[in-house]
Amino acid sequence: MRRTIMSISAISNADDERASERENVYAYEAPVRLWHWINAFSILALALTGYFIGSPLAAAPGEASANFLMGYIRFVHFAAGQILAVALILRIYWVFVGNVHARQIFYVPFWSGRFWSEWLHEVRVYTFLTGRALKYAGHNPLSQFVMFVTFTLPLTFMVITGFALYGESVGHDSWAYRLFGRVFFIWPNSQSVHTLHHLGMWVILIFVMIHIYIAVREDIVSRQSIVSSMISGERLSKHNED
C-alpha cells in the first residue's frame, strides 16, 4: 500500500514537471482562425479557376448555352474573390479590436532595432546556423516580415486588380469599375493588369507552399505548435531539450 502511494506521488510530480516545461498561450482568436481557413479555401478555388481563365479549355462543339463550363469557372472565381474581399475587410476591422497577435501580419516595425536583431536571429535559425530558437506567443519577427511582404500586400493587390478586371468585364458603369477602375490609370493596358494579376497568383501559391513547410517545421524543430494553433487558437511551446 505504501509502495502504491509512493508511485502515485511520483507520477503526480512527473506530471507537474512536464506541465512546467510547457507554456500554453491563447494567441489566435476565433475571427483570425476563421479568416485563415476562409483564405485557404478561397485561394484554392481562385488559383484553380484562375489558371483555367488564363489558359481556357478547348472549345466544345454545339450551342454555347449547352457548353457553359467556362462560365461556371468564371462564376466560381468571381464568387470566391468576393468572399475573399469581404473576409479581408472584416479582418482589417479585427486588427483594431482584436488582441496584439491579430495585427502582427498587417505591419512591420521597420523603426525597431530589436525587431531587426531578432529577425536576423530567426534567419540564422531557419538556415540552421544556430539551433536555439526563441519562443514567441505569436509570429516571430521573420515570420511577421514574410507574411506582410509575401501575403498581406500581395493579397490586397490581388483583390484590387481582380475587382478592376471584373469591373472592366461587366461595364464601366458598374460599381466595381467605379471603385477600382483607377487601376487602369496606372496600367492603361488591360493585358498588363491581367499579367500582374496572374503573377500575383504565383507569388501567393509559392507563399502557401513555404507557409505549410514552416508550420510543420515549427512543430518539429522549434517545438512550438503552429498547425493545431489555427484550430484551437492556443500556442504551445515546449521548453525541455530532449
Q: What is the domain-level CATH number for residue 63? A: 1.20.950.20
Coil, helix or strand for 238?
Answer: strand
Least confident of 11-20, 55-64, 67-76, 96-105: 11-20
Tell whether the model's pLDDT for residue 10 goes beyond 60.
Answer: no
Mean pLDDT across the stretch 116-131?
87
CA–CA dist 77, 49 (Å, integer): 6
User: How many distinct structural domains can be found in the chain?
Assistant: 1
- pTM for this model (two decimals): 0.82
- Burial status of residue 129 (CB atoms within 10 A of its CB: 0-12, 13-18, 19 or more): exposed
Tell me, yes or no, whether 2 lies in a domain: no
| Domain that includes residue 179, residue range | 26-238
Mean pLDDT of the chain: 84
CB 72 within 8 A of CB 41: no
How many other CB atoms are found less than 10 A from the CB of residue 84?
Answer: 22
Tell me, yes or no, whether 226 lies in a domain: yes
Tell me, yes or no, whether 3 lies in a domain: no
Tell me, yes or no, whether 19 lies in a domain: no
CA–CA dist 130, 221 (Å, integer): 12
Tell me, yes or no, whether 100 lies in a domain: yes
Ranges of H-type helices in 69-188: 69-97, 113-126, 141-147, 153-170, 175-180, 183-186
Tell me, yes or no, whether 223 lies in a domain: yes
Return the residue matching grid coordinates 531587426.
Answer: 116
